[in-house]
């Protein structure tokens, strides 16, 4: 019966000791071929070990708990129609006048439809919707030109 090592040695030597480059050049320096295969096996073993130890094969991302909120289109007429009234009672109504001081007079509050970007402010983890807007009017008169 032939020796098993004598049969396997050429096959093992061919596979483990020699290798071909992409241009199919046969390198017959067994030390270089063996180094090449050992490095290949080492990299494969490291990748398998890293997958097993770090559980990167089961990688998951934990939610941060923030929202990506937005506001749909809206206007005052839609809001009034859902409440069953054509206009709001306080719009341009002198019954709702309020004089706080000489510098702050809340007279006949005007109701206007605002653009969504005037009402909605979106942050990284929040959304703010303005429910009340106070306008101030400053009057000024030109000074005398002495020149």
For 13-33, letters b (16+ CB in 10 Å) and e give: eeeebbbeeeeeeeeeeeeeb
Q: pLDDT tens digits, residue range 59-90?
A: 777 777 766 777 776 655 566 555 555 567 77
Please give the structure tokens belonging to residue 109.
């509050």
Yes or no: say if 41 and 33 are a contact pair by the CB < 8 Å rule.
no
Average pLDDT, the chain: 78
Q: Is 81 left (phi over 0), alpha (psi -120 to 50) or beta?
A: alpha
pLDDT at position 80: 55
Please give the structure tokens belonging to residue 93.
């109504």
pLDDT at position 140: 80
Report, as an integer, the average pLDDT of 34-42: 96
Does the pTM of the predicted model rise above 0.75? no
- Residue 97: is its pLDDT beyond 90? no
> CA 104: distance to chain centroid?
44
């Amino acid at each position: 019966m032939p020796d098993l090592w004598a049969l396997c040695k050429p096959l093992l030597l061919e596979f483990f000791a020699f290798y071909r480059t992409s241009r199919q050049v046969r390198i017959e320096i067994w030390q270089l071929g063996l180094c090449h295969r050992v490095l290949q096996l080492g990299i494969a073993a490291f990748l398998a070990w890293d997958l097993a130890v770090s559980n990167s094969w089961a990688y998951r991302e934990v939610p941060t708990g923030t929202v990506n909120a937005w506001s749909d289109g809206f206007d005052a007429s839609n809001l009034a129609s859902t409440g069953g009234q054509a206009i709001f009672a306080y719009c341009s109504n002198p019954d709702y006048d309020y004089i706080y001081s000489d510098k702050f007079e809340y007279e006949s509050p005007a109701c206007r439809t605002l653009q969504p970007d005037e009402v909605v402010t979106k942050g990284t983890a929040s959304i703010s919707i303005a429910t009340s807007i106070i306008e101030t009017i400053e009057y000024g008169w030109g000074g005398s030109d002495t020149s």
